[in-house]
Structure 1
Amino acid sequence: MTSALDEELSRALKEASPPSELLERLLALEVGALTERRIERRIRESKLPERKLLADFDFAFQEGVDKRQIVELATLDFARRKQGVIIAGNSGTGKSHIAKAILLIGCQKTFRCRYVTATTMLRELLATLADNSLEQKLKRFLTPEILLIDEVGFDRLEQHDPRNANLFHKVIDGRYCKGSTIITTNIDFKELGDYLGDPVITAATVDRMIHHSIIITIEGPSWRLHESQQLNARK
């Protein structure tokens, strides 16, 4: 900001700019700096583990992805409509890459965003049952305008605690029609009951998850496997 200010002052002296024009340019610089700081704050608060970009996604390799649909998601109209997004597919197909890139765009557009894996979210909520702080912790996942719950199905949670189904339902139900929830998963909706440990509660959860949601299913090869094979071929 200091160097930019010096440049504008030097420019004003060289061009003999009127004070009003100089003031306008300085105000524009200040607004730009404030916006950048706000965006960085949004990104930090989102807890995104990495900054994925749609520009880095290989649509040519993953032909099962409709590029036009992903570009449409990047407009964030779904968030303005408070719609959900479910991205399903096998491991390595790019679900998380796309979801993280969309969440990053949300931060850049100054939406309140939050990233969390399903395992971490449920572990944190489960821990609150011991000290009756569940309602307070729930707010962390209910208040963001866009919440990304990544890796649903990655860990077999039903082996840990049967209360996970109810906790997961509280998040989905609490955000229903109030905020946008992006979910990535490698399991079928029919398997969610076994995954969360309670098919009855999960049925109600799935009903809210898919209602008014954009569902994207990626059927294609694993990029990680492809990349590994390429590296081995070069050796």
Structure 2
Amino acid sequence: MMHPIINKVIQAPEINESFTRSMDCSLENMSQPKLISFVNPYSYMILKDNFACYEQVDVFYSDAIVSSLTFSLIANKRVPRVSFDYGSFGKTFLETLNQSRAAVYFIGAKPNEIAKTMALFQQEYPNLNVVGYRDGYFSDDAETLNAIKTIIETGAEYVVCGMGTPYQEHFGAQLKAHSFGGIKEIYTCGGFLHQSSEGVQYYPDLINQLHLRWLYRIFNDKYVIKRLLNQYPRFLFSLAYDSIVSVFKRK
């Protein structure tokens, strides 16, 4: 039996088609927003035993080559890499909202970083209808709930949340639980808002084309090498172990 996260990845709809459907959908036909997140070997190992976080996520996409290849083998079908960054869905999202002017709220990164990112977004996408933004750090539960109330009151149709796993999934689940009929979709985006403070396109084109984002981040974000050496082998071992256990349980 596959882990529920893997099932959600395998069953995920094509993201651009799903996003287009949400754009065409009237708010009158919406109940709760859809919570959409992205998983890689590092975040999978954090989320897999955190039922409260992953259970509320409606759709997961695989945002790393290693996890996409591994999930493809498990599912016996191609599982594409999809990520909320400028080399993947993030660019489509921003360009589409720049044209449609649908209301969007951004939350994540540090105060100075999110301010820089918003300035860059507004420069690159002058018609982007940003109805609000704030950093992704809270002093207590009261501040968290106040942020949720503020987001809902802005009338945002889309919310982009970049706090890192599992905080962004947890916040997204809380926002989803409090929102009825206003927000269409909530996207997690990992470090996208933090990275974008240095430039809208964090990864050079050649790096994106060669799928060497992991190597680029090793040199730019020193903590990434620790994740690669620690969590990626654990991820592969965990999936192998779960597969073996599943085979024996069926016998």
TM-score relative to the length of structure 1: 0.35
